[in-house]
Amino acid sequence: MSSTAYSLAKPSPRADRLGYCLRVIRTAAAMEFKLKYAGSAVGYVWSLARPLAYFAVLWVVFERFLRIPGPAVENYPLYLLTGLVLYLFFIDAISMTMMSIVARGALLRRMALPPLLIPLSVSLTAALTFCVNAVAVVVLLAVHRVRPELDWLLLIPLVGELLAFILGIGLIASALYVRFRDVAQIWELASQLLIFATPIMYPVTLLPPRVQEVVFLSPLVQVIQDVRLLIVGLNAETETLAGVLGSDAWRLVPVSIALATLVVGLVYFRRDAPRLAERV
């Protein structure tokens, strides 16, 4: 029995609104990106510092000392860096999105802004950061004189799938974080575990076969392995989803999980959206 009616004297409110939303997402993401890098070249270098530091440590420890990848992995530096850059995209984008609503509580309380625009623009910033970090992979590819091939275009839907998964989790986490502040600690812990649970620094074949089958249902693992298959080269028989689970059709499972997560995230966020401003 409560309602709010707005009659807008606009020619085409719907198209107007979509245009407005896109402008806000783009401008806010660009400004956020600018802030992060303070408009300086040093800023970009700093963004690369994290993946490169991880890379250096893990490379030395795993390849030089432990010799874990062994002959199973042909080009370990490239294998490792690809995995790391995707993993950090996943972790950082979700962390940033999770904090986004609470961080902009003051704005939400003073402006009639569709709350959804906030996590969307923040994920876009994270995607831009990912593109900067991907430059490191490109450099390494160039060093190894890897030639780009036409099927590299498949990287686009793969990154899209990962982004959908990220957005889905990020939307749920951002709405939950408004009410439960320990969501941040839980995510912190999960992301620490994830770097070991995901074949980032070691080859998938190191895991027991049963575990491999389960691990491949994760969109993160599937995307990382498919990207590696395209640009690093893997043993398709033993190291990709199709090889491990027996058929390419299995790929539908992680892809569906990613898309379903996005849908659930959108629904959950929309359900909470009217109360977000007063709860932050």
Partner 1 sequence: MTSTSAITAVDLSKAFSIPHETRGTLREHVLHPLRRTTHERNQALQEVSFEVGQGEFFGVIGPNGSGKSTLLRILAGIYAQDSGTVDVRGRLSPFIELGVGFNLELTARDNVVLTGTLLGLTRQQLDEKFDEILAFAELERFIDQKLNNFSSGMLLRLAYSIAIQVPFDILLLDEVLAVGDESFQEKCYRTLIDIRHAGKTVVLVSHNLYAVARLCERVMLLRNGVVEALGRPDEVIRAYREQEGTEDPWPAAAPAFEETKSVWEHVAGGPG
Place of tokens 């060093």: 143
Q: Is 275 in the site for partner 1 (CB under 8 A)?
A: yes
Which two structure tokens, joined as six digits, stand for 162?
């990962």
Dist CA 3 CA 142 (whole Å)? 60
Residue with smaller CB distance to partner 1, 180 or 196: 180
Helix/strand/coil (H/E/C) assignment for every residue in 174-219: HHHHHHCCCHHHHHHHHHHHHHHHCCCCCCHHHCCHHHHHHHCCCH
Q: Counting every residue, how long is the chain? A: 280
Query: Of 41, 106, 193, 249, which lies in the binding site for partner 1, with binding defined by CB under 8 A?
Result: 106
Give me the least distance between CB of 128 and partner 1, in Å please: 16
155: buried, middle or exposed (CB in 10 Å: 19+, 13-18, 0-12)? middle
Stretch that binds partner 1, among 19-27, 71-79, 133-141, 233-241 (CB under 8 A): 19-27
Question: Is 35 one of the binding residues for partner 1 (CB under 8 A)?
Answer: yes
Q: Site for partner 1 (CB under 8 A): which residue of 40, 64, 71, 112? A: 112
**Token pair listed for 239:** 């190291």
Q: Is residue 8 a contact residue for partner 1 (CB under 8 A)?
A: yes
Nearer to partner 1, 74 or 182 (CB): 182
Q: Which amino acid is at 76?
A: Y
271 contributes a contact to partner 1 by CB under 8 A: no
Min CB(7)–partner 1 separation in Å: 5
Binder of partner 1 out of 96, 140, 166, 176 (CB under 8 A):
176
- Could you say whether residue 12 binds partner 1 (CB under 8 A)? no
| Cα 6 versus chain centre, distance | 37
Stretch that binds partner 1, among 31-39, 41-49, 130-138, 222-230 (CB under 8 A): 31-39
Tell me the C-alpha to C-alpha distance, in Å, between residue 8 and each of 16, 17, 21, 22, 91: 11, 11, 17, 20, 41
Please report whether residue 144 would count as binding partner 1 according to CB under 8 A.
no
Chain center to CA of 190: 14
Of 36 and 251, CB closest to partner 1: 36
- 66-to-70, 201, 206 alpha-carbon distances in Å: 9, 12, 14
In angstroms, rounded to a whole number, what is the distance separating the alpha carbons of residues 233 and 74? 8
- Count residues contacting partner 1 (CB under 8 A)? 38
Stretch 183-202: interaction string toward partner 1, x if CB under 8 A: x--x----------------
Rule CB under 8 A: which residues touch partner 1? 1-10, 19-20, 23-24, 27-28, 31, 34-35, 106-113, 176, 179-183, 186, 274-275, 277-278
